[in-house]
Chain A
Amino acid sequence: MATVHRARQRVVLAAVCRNAAAMGLTPGMPLTQARAMVPGLDVRDADPDGDGALLQRIGRFAARRITPLVALSGTDGLWLDLTGAAHLHGGEHRLGAGLLRFCAKLGLEARIAMASNGAAADALARHGPERLTLCSEGEEEAALAPLPVAALRLDQSAANGMRRLGLERIGEMAAVPRGPLVRRFGRDVLLKLDQAFGHAAEPIDPIIPRDAPAAALRFAEPIGGAETIARAIGDLLDDLIERLREAGLGVRALLLLCDRVDRQQQRVEIGAARATRDKAHLLRLLGRRIETIDPGFGIDAMRLVAARAEPLGAAVVAGDLAASAPTADIAQLIDLIAGRIGTQHLYRLSAVESDVPERSVRRIAPLDMPVPWPDSWPRPPRLLSRPEPIDHVVAELPDAPPRRFTWRGRTHHLVKGDGPERIYGEWWKRSGERDAVRDYFRVEDESGARFWLFRRGDGEDSRTGDLSWWMQGGCG
């Protein structure tokens, strides 16, 4: 199948499906030639407006569900700024795989790339070898080198000129001295290259949900001092909070955009664990980030956008006058600490239904309610998430606690021991664990030191483990 549109006097292909591409059809080919190559071609009219609307809808969906910063990339792509958002969706790889599945359900064949800047991700998504490409920071040059020069979004004449010079790949182009390139093709080509390698910034123009409450300030004179910026933020907050109050909303994510006189944009994002419109609290969160704003030659406009807002009604004041004094709200403290060390570093620990100790704990958001662990055998307060091997173990098979072992260069003579507590491998998670068994022992040595050890295997059947001994925790 192919869609067609009219370009000047000719009807040319706008897009082709996978089967058509396999038969040699490419976008931009005249329809008559395509018909000659594939006689039974199914031809439909292209619908650029409909495509654009669909793209906008997906973009808005992504802005609500994944990250507030979503921008259009050409007529057929989306940029998602995942800074600080990927871990909320289980990491970059899982997020990418989930998005591919989501697009497949919509009937779209998507290609996704994640890189440290928009240009590199764009190039890898459109021209990379895989449908899902993850490129970590610093690897852009290596990842982009084999891609065609066109992946840099050069204009047509520059791309043709490159081809005439024999520069087909980005790697070849990067190896050419910069001076002659600028003289021949202009500055733009090198700017695109620098953007792709992450040497030059490329601000994106986000599609924020249309109804996001926002406040804006324009300055007659560019500002740059920290106190002036703080005062401007205070004014913006007053304005924004008034709007939020009218709409009955509180902010969960706040975006401060500062436009500099040199057309660069500075961005500060803060998040709140619970919807709020407390000015003092938001001002404190933003105030700590002022030092991260680089005013350059001055800022001439500032915008404060409630990128994520949730309904927030009036709070109920306890009717009981005799009740104890109201305690300060922990949600504000969570925002303050998360702003200092990062959201992913503040969490509660909750139970997972798994007997394998390393897997029995998972992290949940600080305001969620954790599930307690079932009452079981004693567990140590300190756990080596990677068990360390111990040597020179003397133990009777199959299930007596060990008498002696050496760990970290010290030999422990054990006088007491509890066990074994047998934990079976979880074959439904990894097929290698089908027969695996761990026998756990809590042991105490002559000096009173208590440890939590395990042996791989049940001591009878060699399929259950190799009888090696491991240190897992200190019992205290």
Chain B
Amino acid sequence: MGRALRLKRLRAEVRGIAAAGKDPAAVLPFGLDAIDARLASGGLADAGVHEAAAATQSYSDDAAATLFLAGIAGRRAGRRGTVLWVVARRDLFAPGLAQAGLAPGQLLVAEAERDADVLAVMEEGLRHGALAAVVGEVGRAGLTETRRLQLAAEEGGTMALLLHRWRKGDPLAEPSSALTRWRIGSAPSASLPVPGVGRSRWQVELARQRGGPGFSLLLEACDAQGRLALPALPSHRPDQADRTGERRAA
């Protein structure tokens, strides 16, 4: 028993040293109990790697995963922070990101051609410590690459968000040392009383997290502040029916 306690203390000490004085336990909550309560640390760790990928090869799912990360990055940046977005293809459209909570004043874009260059620029941005978050678009990043990113993120106290873009097969099939791995797919939006498309909904799946089980949720897409929400009318989901009123207000 005493040995286990000592080990635990030692681990905490090592974590503290690795995080170079920054609070290693700082997290960015989603502000939704349904998610935060199921995340092992109560939110996304500030100094850590988080991965997201589209659920299918569809362009719409790709866009959903992009907006999911844009919302997180925008909320992490707050009003004055800067987010570095490292792209490999040139199809990022900033007006769309601005509508998901990542304003142009917070966004700095870097273009790199190959995955290796994207990862190198990300590491540079993470180590420096002046950025709020670094988003990188890669086709493939394995255990070694994500481990390097994790070390860089801890060194600079910066959040690393890795967007896997589909090339061949499931991009999350490969092992990685990211703290959380998300899979985002678009889902039918709420029916409106008039013809038209309602607020987008996503099937958000936490494929893996360190220190906890995964889960899957139907959520409403990021609003202009980058906040997700629970769907308004989940009458077929009794476990959430009693909370919908306050979620809608949030």
Q: List chain A positions with a Cβ less than 8 A from chain B.
A: 327-330, 332-334, 336-337, 340-341, 345-351, 357, 360-361, 366, 369-373, 376, 378-385, 415-418, 442-444, 446-451, 473-476
A336 CB contacts on chain B under 8 angstroms: 124, 128
| Dominant secondary structure of chain A at its interface with chain B | mixed
Distance to closest chain B CB from A351 (angstroms): 7
The answer on a CB contact under 8 Å between A476 and B130 is: no
The answer on a CB contact under 8 Å between A450 and B109 is: no
Is B62 an interface position by the 8 A CB rule? Answer: yes
CA distance A416 to B187 in the complex (A): 13
Can you sample 28 A-B contacts with CB below 8 Å? A327-B129, A333-B128, A333-B131, A337-B110, A341-B117, A347-B109, A349-B94, A361-B95, A366-B108, A381-B63, A382-B63, A382-B93, A383-B91, A418-B197, A447-B58, A448-B185, A448-B186, A450-B186, A473-B59, A474-B59, A474-B63, A475-B63, A475-B96, A476-B62, A476-B63, A476-B64, A476-B67, A476-B221
Beta-carbon nearest neighbor of B129 in chain A: A328
The answer on a CB contact under 8 Å between B61 and A476 is: yes
The answer on a CB contact under 8 Å between A449 and B67 is: no
Is B225 an interface position by the 8 A CB rule? Answer: no
The answer on a CB contact under 8 Å between B109 and A373 is: no
B197 partner, pick from A369, A372, A444, beta carbons under 8 A:
A444
A448 partner, pick from B82, B104, B131, B187, beta carbons under 8 A:
B187
A474 CB contacts on chain B under 8 angstroms: 58-63
CA distance A171 to B188 in the complex (A): 67
Distance to closest chain A CB from B19 (angstroms): 15
Distance to closest chain B CB from A164 (angstroms): 53
The answer on a CB contact under 8 Å between B93 and A381 is: yes
CA distance A454 to B104 in the complex (A): 25
The answer on a CB contact under 8 Å between B128 and A382 is: no
CA distance A351 to B97 in the complex (A): 13
Is B100 an interface position by the 8 A CB rule? Answer: yes
Is B103 an interface position by the 8 A CB rule? Answer: yes
Beta-carbon nearest neighbor of A360 in chain B: B95
CA distance A346 to B128 in the complex (A): 16
- Give the A-B pair count, Cβ closer than 8 A: 173
A476 CB contacts on chain B under 8 angstroms: 60-67, 186, 200, 202, 221
CA distance A350 to B104 in the complex (A): 7
Beta-carbon nearest neighbor of B91 in chain A: A382
The answer on a CB contact under 8 Å between A340 and B121 is: yes
The answer on a CB contact under 8 Å between A340 and B120 is: yes
Given contacts A378-B96, A448-B201, A476-B186, 12 further A-B contacts (CB under 8 A): A337-B121, A346-B110, A348-B108, A361-B93, A382-B62, A382-B91, A382-B96, A416-B196, A418-B196, A450-B197, A474-B58, A474-B61
The answer on a CB contact under 8 Å between B130 and A382 is: no
A330 CB contacts on chain B under 8 angstroms: 82, 130-131
A447 CB contacts on chain B under 8 angstroms: 58, 186, 188
Is B125 an interface position by the 8 A CB rule? Answer: yes
Q: List chain B positions with a Cβ less than 8 A from chain A.
A: 58-67, 70, 82, 84, 90-100, 103-105, 107-112, 117, 120-121, 124-125, 128-131, 185-189, 195-198, 200-202, 221
A416 CB contacts on chain B under 8 angstroms: 189, 195-198
B95 CB contacts on chain A under 8 angstroms: 351, 357, 360-361, 373, 376, 379
The answer on a CB contact under 8 Å between A475 and B60 is: yes
Asked, given contacts A372-B104, A379-B93, whether A449 binds B60 with beta carbons under 8 Å apart, the answer is yes
CA distance A371 to B109 in the complex (A): 15
A381 CB contacts on chain B under 8 angstroms: 63, 66-67, 70, 92-93, 96-97, 100
Distance to closest chain A CB from B96 (angstroms): 4
Most A Cβ at <10 Å: residue of B70, B96, B97, B103: B96
Distance to closest chain B CB from A350 (angstroms): 6
CA distance A436 to B104 in the complex (A): 30
A337 CB contacts on chain B under 8 angstroms: 84, 110, 121, 124-125
The 10 closest A-B pairs by CB, nearest first: A476-B63, A476-B64, A449-B60, A474-B59, A474-B63, A383-B93, A381-B96, A370-B104, A328-B130, A349-B94
The answer on a CB contact under 8 Å between A341 and B63 is: no
A345 CB contacts on chain B under 8 angstroms: 110-112
CA distance A351 to B95 in the complex (A): 8
CA distance A448 to B186 in the complex (A): 6
CA distance A360 to B104 in the complex (A): 13
Distance to closest chain B CB from A95 (angstroms): 22
CA distance A384 to B90 in the complex (A): 9
A444 CB contacts on chain B under 8 angstroms: 188-189, 197
CA distance A376 to B59 in the complex (A): 22
B59 CB contacts on chain A under 8 angstroms: 382, 449, 451, 473-474
Beta-carbon nearest neighbor of A345 in chain B: B111
Beta-carbon nearest neighbor of A374 in chain B: B95
Distance to closest chain B CB from A121 (angstroms): 29
The answer on a CB contact under 8 Å between A473 and B96 is: yes
Distance to closest chain B CB from A219 (angstroms): 33
B93 CB contacts on chain A under 8 angstroms: 357, 361, 379-383, 473
Distance to closest chain A CB from B186 (angstroms): 5
CA distance A419 to B129 in the complex (A): 44
CA distance A334 to B27 in the complex (A): 26
Beta-carbon nearest neighbor of A471 in chain B: B59
CA distance A448 to B100 in the complex (A): 19
The answer on a CB contact under 8 Å between B104 and A349 is: yes
Distance to closest chain A CB from B217 (angstroms): 15
CA distance A383 to B87 in the complex (A): 13
The answer on a CB contact under 8 Å between A332 and B128 is: yes
Distance to closest chain B CB from A411 (angstroms): 13
The answer on a CB contact under 8 Å between B96 and A451 is: no
B91 CB contacts on chain A under 8 angstroms: 382-385
Asked, given contacts A336-B124, A341-B121, A371-B104, whether A380 binds B111 with beta carbons under 8 Å apart, the answer is no
CA distance A220 to B105 in the complex (A): 52
Most B Cβ at <10 Å: residue of A371, A372, A382, A416: A382
B198 CB contacts on chain A under 8 angstroms: 416
The answer on a CB contact under 8 Å between B200 and A373 is: no
CA distance A128 to B104 in the complex (A): 45
CA distance A113 to B61 in the complex (A): 48
Distance to closest chain B CB from A452 (angstroms): 9
B221 CB contacts on chain A under 8 angstroms: 476
CA distance A372 to B96 in the complex (A): 11
B186 CB contacts on chain A under 8 angstroms: 447-450, 476
B99 partner, pick from A333, A378, A382, A449, beta carbons under 8 A:
A378
CA distance A346 to B108 in the complex (A): 7
